[in-house]
Amino acid sequence: MSEPTALSLIPPIVVLVLAIWLRRPILSLIIGTVAGLLLLSANPFDALDTFAEVSLRTMQDETIGWLILVCGSFGSLIALLVRTGGAMAFGQQALKLAKGPKSSLFMTFMLGLVIFIDDYLNALTVGETMKRVTDRFKVSREMLAYVVDSTAAPVCVLVPLSTWAVFFGGLLENNGVAATGEGINVYFQAIPYMLYAWLAVLMVLLVILGIVPAIGPMKRAELRAQHGSVGAMRVSDSELMQDADLTPDSYAVKSIEEEFSQADRAGKLHNFLVPMAMLVGFTVYFDIDIWKGLLVTLLLTIPYYMAQRLMPLAEMMEQMIDGFKTMLPAIGTVIAAFVFKDICDQLHLPQYVINSLTPYMTPQMLPAVVFVSMAVLAFATGSSWGIFAVTIPIVMPLAHSVGADIPLVIGALLSASSFGSQACFYSDSTVLAAQGSGCDLVSHAVTQLPYALLTAAIAFVGFIIIA
């Protein structure tokens, strides 16, 4: 296609429709890529040649190699922290300060802020650690799950040393928004404008302190807890594993939580603090180079754990490999999204969108419109990362064309991603928060939704005001 036409909209429409319908972003991206190839090629054999060329070019991209190494290494480090019991030991120390309902929830909040490296580790560690303490003070499991969920993705998105920052920083580089090696720096510039994430953290703190009251379903859950029924499903962890009402995706989550529950409960606090300090310290030392920071951290953490005889080297390697595997869905999404982006570029999709929307879009309204549209898509699909990967090649060229504030637009995109991760009923973050807190999945989603929608509405107004 030599000129931008409306036909270039077909692949992204296919991806978005299938993502909403199937809730499988990788499959949707692949099918959308095939649709684009058929538009580009006169016959199936030409399409096959184009796909082979594009996919090989994508895999040779330096950014892809960097993302595979960094995301996989994050997974390996998380697996070691969980298996050695270091993360659990940190939580056990925090329990000593919990004296009542508010203080127990505040400790949950603080623990969620500290475990910022990954929302999976955050949700499983915080929920598993704190649920017995909040039960003691008659706090509903729904309230606990809300606090856990609000300090998982919203906190991870605000910290430039997390799997979220690695993923999105790489996308910014690949799409030309940031120069090679500058993705994290550009991400850092957008952090002040990630309004939903900031407001979600503030909102849950106000709820904990009682400034914002329990409303709707959450109020009913809290009343039940105060009268002796902690959650809509006050059941054991083993019973939770057999709950037929959970979504299919949650069965994978169950195995993760079960493995976490079997981790060494007698872990030492330093086995959590030392690797975390090394990760932050070395990353800063190497000029915010996460890959170098991770590499040195892993190289030092392994002998550090071996010297304590926490586990044999062979078992440690096995745990790291398993941790690496947990990142494969994110890595697969990146690769599929980059191939899809290449095809969209060949179809001149960015140029068509820019030509069509520029006359009707102003720099002041673009961030708010981006936030709402992407938030709806992330909520509908349950894939905050996948939707971002699909839409950034469209949104960022448009932002450049109308002269919008780029960090503000990136902040709007990341705000939409964190909203989808928290609010969607079947997103990873929602399922993990419910499972880790021992709460029924639907009960958790329904009770936290009013707070998420209220926060999103405030963020929308905020984007209009500061644009």
Domain count, the chain: 1
Q: Note whether residue 194 is domain-resident.
A: yes
Q: Note whether residue 206 is domain-resident.
A: yes
**pLDDT tier, 253 (very low <50, low <70, confident <90, very high otherwise):** very low
Model pLDDT for residues 164-206, shown as the tens digit of each residue: 888 888 888 888 888 877 888 889 999 999 999 999 999 999 9
Angle between helices 62-83 and 290-307 (to 10 degrees): 30
The closest alpha carbon to 101, from 187, 262, 210, 23, belongs to 210
pLDDT of residue 419: 92
Q: Which of 209-223, 240-254, 387-401 has the highest mean pLDDT?
A: 209-223
Q: Which two tokens stand for residue 348?
A: 């001149």
97 to 91, 104, 268, 442, 463: CA distances (angstroms): 11, 8, 18, 31, 38
pLDDT of residue 23: 65
Model pLDDT for residues 287-312, shown as the tens digit of each residue: 767 788 889 999 999 999 999 999 89
The closest alpha carbon to 120, from 414, 387, 446, 431, belongs to 431
**pLDDT tier, 259 (very low <50, low <70, confident <90, very high otherwise):** very low
Q: Note whether residue 79 is domain-resident.
A: yes
3-state SS, residue 319:
helix
Q: How far apart are CA 390 and CA 413, in angstroms?
A: 12
Work out the burial of residue 163: count CB atoms within 10 Å of its CB; fewer than 13 is exposed, 13-18 middle, 19 or more buried: buried
Q: Note whether residue 174 is domain-resident.
A: yes
Neighbours of 307 (CB within 10 A): 8
Tell me what the pLDDT averaged over the chain comes to.
80
Work out the burial of residue 2: count CB atoms within 10 Å of its CB; fewer than 13 is exposed, 13-18 middle, 19 or more buried: exposed
Provide the residue range defining the domain that includes 274: 6-466
Q: Note whether residue 308 is domain-resident.
A: yes
Q: Note whether residue 1 is domain-resident.
A: no
Amino acid letter for position 352: Y
Q: Note whether residue 369 is domain-resident.
A: yes
Answer yes or no: pTM beyond 0.75. no
Among 109-113, 300-304, 398-402, which is the least confidently predicted range? Answer: 398-402
Q: Which two tokens stand for residue 129?
A: 């650690």
Q: Note whether residue 328 is domain-resident.
A: yes
